[in-house]
Amino acid sequence: MPYQAPRGTHDVLPDEVHLWQFLELTFAQLVESFGYREIRTPAFEDTELFVRTSGDTSEVVTKQMYSFRDKGDRELTLKPEGTAPAMRSYLEHRLGQTGQTTRLWYTTPIFRYERPQKGRYRQAHQVGLELVGSPSPAADAEVIELTVRFYEELGLHGVTVLVNSIGRAAARESYCTALLAHAEPVLRDMETEARAQVERNPLRLLDSKVPEVIEVLRDAPSIVDYLEPDSRAHFGQVCQILDEQSINYTPAPHIVRGLDYYTDTVFEVQSDALGAQSSLCGGGRYDGLIQAIGGSATPAVGVAMGIERAILALQATENALDAPTPDYYGIALDEASARQLRQVATQLREGGARVVVDLDPRSLKSLLKAADRSGADQALIIGESEVSDGTVIVRDLRAGTQVTIPVTQLQHSATL
Ligand code: HAM
């Protein structure tokens, strides 16, 4: 094979694209029913946008960005996530005014130089939404509720919603000091670079995969005990609204998420079906991001769901959708028949049918084989006598029976 898709990327083939379309349509209809409006941002942005927002200690920025210098000497990066670009656009085009909420949604590729494995890619795709301008706990709850409803509408079971609050800067600072002190026995043995990285952002310890770190953190202090009263009250109200809306969730003090822009609420949804990459989505409140990129202080909260991971989870369910097949496969036995077949196909398509027309004349036997292979329910067969009678043979490919119908009476629903 001379060329293959680059490592960590994949093609979405015709046999699975219907799952992507189903997922994207389900998401769009759901979020539009809550008043979100779609936004599309470029594939690349100024590198600085991501460094400022994701944080220069996050893995996304330190290890995973696809950054390059263009011919005009600009430092650019293929977007590793959708929130910062959406907020850059929000500011650039003044999509919101003080005191007003703006609801945005998107579907986007993201690019991260990660070690590829099942559910983890270098080009992945997300659907996401951002609710900008409201500090209310009801905003956090709306985003979490929407997330849960989305997975429900997809028909995914075995999902767990984990919710936490990581508070504000001051609470995080005192928590980080306590966390570092607690983890000191393992930090002592770490290499200088790894230790320096942990010290720059001790919260990273909480999603460490190193067995010794995981062990020592079993009885680590909990961030919940360090929250300031406002954050504690906010979190309590988010949970109360979720309870009122009958949304099942689990408080999870170890959830911190990998991007540095979060304040207060963070959450993720995990699926049993995914193995190591169990996180279906991640989100939370990010009240400092817009100010960090030059706007006025504006509260915001959002979420992004990995499309590939949702599809893996969907494929693991029993009711995964089958790929759609044609309703009809059209067969013409000569030139004049082909002309009549094209007209019949147009007539049926206007009635909403999916009609594939065979283009290459050969024996009826081979044409019927091609019709079977197409997965169509029925074949339309036209030869010399059908042309002279103005009829078409409609053959049920499953039952092997057929009827001859005048073209004028042929209707998609009537022939089913
Ligand atoms: P994130 O947690 O980095 O958040 O990613 C969200 C989801 O995208 C993950 O839970 C996962 O399903 C999917 N994902 C991320 N990276 C990969 C990958 N390499 N391969 C496959 N799937 C992946 C964000 O991106 C934030 N922008 C979410 C957000 C929106 N926060 C506030 N608003």
**Sheet strand arrangement including 75-78:** 44-46, 75-78, 67-69
- pLDDT truncated to tens, each residue of the chain (416 aa)? 899 999 999 999 999 999 999 999 999 999 999 999 999 999 999 999 999 999 888 889 989 999 999 999 999 999 999 999 999 999 999 999 877 999 999 999 999 999 999 999 999 999 999 999 999 999 999 999 999 999 999 999 889 999 999 999 999 999 999 999 999 888 888 888 878 888 888 888 887 878 888 888 888 999 999 999 999 999 999 999 999 999 999 999 988 888 889 999 999 999 988 887 789 999 999 999 999 999 999 999 999 999 999 999 999 887 778 899 999 999 999 999 999 999 999 999 999 999 999 999 899 999 999 999 999 999 999 999 999 999 999 999 999 999 999 999 999 864 44
Q: What does the alpha-carbon distance between residue 111 and residue 131 come to, in Å, rounded to a whole number?
A: 23
Q: Which residues fall within 8 angstroms of residue 219, CB to CB, at 6 or more apart? A: none
Is residue 83 within 6 Å of ligand 1 at its C-beta? yes
Q: Which atom of ligand 1 is nearest to the CA of 283?
A: 31
Q: Looking at ligand 1, which atom is closest to the CA of residue 280?
A: 12
pLDDT value at residue 416: 42
Give helix 17-33 / helix 137-154 axis angle, nearest 10°. 150
Say what the pTM is: 0.93
Q: Give the whole-angstrom CA distance, residue 97 versus residue 119.
A: 38
The DSSP call for residue 318 is T
User: Dihedral of the CA atoms 115, 118, 124, 128 (nearest 10)?
Assistant: -120
Taking alpha carbons only, the member of 155, 78, 69 closest to residue 110 is 78
Q: Give me the helices (H) in 55-191, please.
A: 59, 83-92, 137-154, 169-187
Q: How far is the CA of 123 from the centre of ligand 1 (A)?
A: 12
**281, 286, 298, 311: which to mutate for ligand 1, most atoms within 8 A of CB?**
281
List Cβ neighbours of 35 (8 Å cut-off, separation of 6 or more). 103
Q: What long-range pairs does 246-250 form, CB within 8 A, spacing at least 24?
A: 247/141, 247/144, 247/145, 247/148, 247/161, 248/148, 248/161, 249/144, 249/148, 249/161, 249/162, 249/163, 250/160, 250/161, 250/162, 250/163
Ligand 1 site, residue 85, Cβ cutoff 6 A: no
SS3 374: helix
Q: In testing the pocket of ligand 1, which one of 31, 110, 134 has its CB within 8 Å of the most ligand atoms? A: 110
Ligand 1 in reach of 81 Cβ (< 6 A): yes
3-state secondary structure of 66: coil
120 lines ligand 1 (CB under 6 A): yes
CB of 280 within 6 A of ligand 1: the answer is: yes
Nearest to 105 by CA among 128, 89, 122: 128
Q: State the pLDDT at residue 415.
A: 42
Tokens representing residue 411 in the block: 């209707």
Q: 57: exposed, middle or buried (C-beta count within 10 Å: 0-12, 13-18, 19+)? A: middle
Query: What residue's CA is closest to ligand 1, atom 9?
Result: 281
Distance 37 CA to ligand 1 centre (A): 20
Closest residue by Cα to atom 10, ligand 1, is 281
Closest ligand 1 atom to Cα of 121: 20
Ligand 1 midpoint to CA 306 (Å): 6
pLDDT at 64: 95
Task: Return the closest-CA partner of residue 153 out of 15, 28, 279.
Answer: 28
Task: Evaluate: CB of 311 within 6 angstroms of ligand 1.
Answer: no
What atom in ligand 1 is closest to the CA of residue 81? 25
Amino acid identity at 99 = G
Q: Is the CB of 309 under 6 A from ligand 1?
A: yes
Instruction: Summarize pLDDT for 236-286 with one digit per residue, the tens.
Output: 999 999 999 999 999 999 888 888 899 999 999 999 888 877 899 999 999
Rounded Cα distance, 101 and 85, in Å: 18
Average pLDDT across the chain, whole number: 94
